């Protein structure tokens, strides 16, 4: 399958399916589970089908012009590490769909859950496949937003609402710090393309702005991964 088709399909199909599932008739529409399962299976097979190219050492890239005035492109980039995470996201997502089929109550708003699950898969795929650091930061924040909605899924419960708010505040603030660090790095390098950034390590380290960018980057990473001293939000989100 051509890269210019496969990578956008892998990234954006979950979002399209999420909108479709959410628009399905009735909040308890069980067909949403089947649609989500089929989409997750397609994504899993698609990511696995890219293995031969990855095994040959290829870095798959699909680039769409985004904001040419600022030199920003919508770049999807799949190397070996990104492929591994894409397989984990799609395959585990498929297993979650199967488990949820028996875990969720018939009284739960099934369509909303599956729409959020698909959107979360799409946000994670967009994150690991981003070939542009501004795009990466946007998908990073999108995972925080969808996590907030998933954690607060049972919004009638006070603990779910509190956990969702706490998760959004902590990870959202960290995401803003990450976004600023990406802006600084892009200014140092003169490009927001990930390949250019990876090739400019010494230039970044030698910049007087490097300590600020590093602190902001670590703040984003520590809040999202619930590392000390930001670990307190995760138990409340469970």
CB burial class (10 A; 0-12, 13-18, 19+) of residue 113?
Answer: buried
The string of pLDDT tens digits covering residues 46-60 is 999 999 999 998 889
- The yes-or-no verdict on residue 147 having pLDDT over 80 is yes
The string of pLDDT tens digits covering residues 70-118 is 666 788 999 999 999 999 999 999 998 888 777 776 677 788 888 889 9
- Give helix 110-129 / helix 31-49 axis angle, nearest 10°: 20
Tell me the range of 30-39, 105-114, 171-180 where mean pLDDT is highest.
171-180
Greater pLDDT, 3 or 21: 21
Q: What pLDDT band is residue 151 in, cutting at 50, 70 and 90?
A: confident
Q: What pLDDT band is residue 237 in, cutting at 50, 70 and 90?
A: low
- The yes-or-no verdict on residue 40 having pLDDT over 90 is yes
Q: Token match 């479709």: residue? A: 20
E strands in 12-166:
60-67, 72-78
The pLDDT of residue 71 is: 62
Give 75's strand partners. Answer: 63
């Amino acid at each position: 399958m051509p890269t210019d088709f496969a990578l956008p399909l892998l990234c954006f199909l979950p979002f399209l399916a999420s909108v479709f599932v959410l628009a399905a008739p009735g909040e308890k529409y069980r067909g949403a589970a089947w649609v989500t399962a089929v989409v997750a299976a397609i994504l899993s097979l698609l990511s696995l089908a890219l293995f031969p190219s990855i095994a040959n050492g290829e870095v798959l890239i699909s680039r769409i012009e985004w904001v040419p005035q600022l030199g920003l492109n919508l770049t999807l980039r799949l190397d070996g590490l990104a492929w591994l995470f894409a397989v984990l996201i799609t395959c585990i997502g498929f297993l979650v769909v199967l488990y949820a089929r028996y875990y969720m109550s018939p009284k739960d708003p099934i369509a909303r859950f599956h729409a959020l699950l698909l959107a979360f898969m799409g946000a994670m795929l967009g994150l690991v496949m981003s070939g542009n650091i501004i795009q990466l930061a946007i998908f990073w924040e999108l995972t925080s937003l969808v996590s907030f909605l998933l954690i607060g899924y049972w919004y009638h419960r006070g603990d779910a609402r509190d956990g969702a708010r706490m998760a959004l505040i902590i990870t959202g603030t960290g995401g803003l710090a990450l976004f600023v660090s990406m802006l600084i790095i892009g200014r140092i390098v003169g490009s927001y393309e990930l390949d250019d950034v990876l090739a400019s390590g010494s230039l970044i380290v030698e910049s007087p702005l490097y300590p600020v960018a590093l602190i902001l980057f670590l703040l984003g990473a520590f809040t999202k991964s619930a590392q000390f001293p930001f670990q307190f939000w995760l138990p409340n989100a469970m």
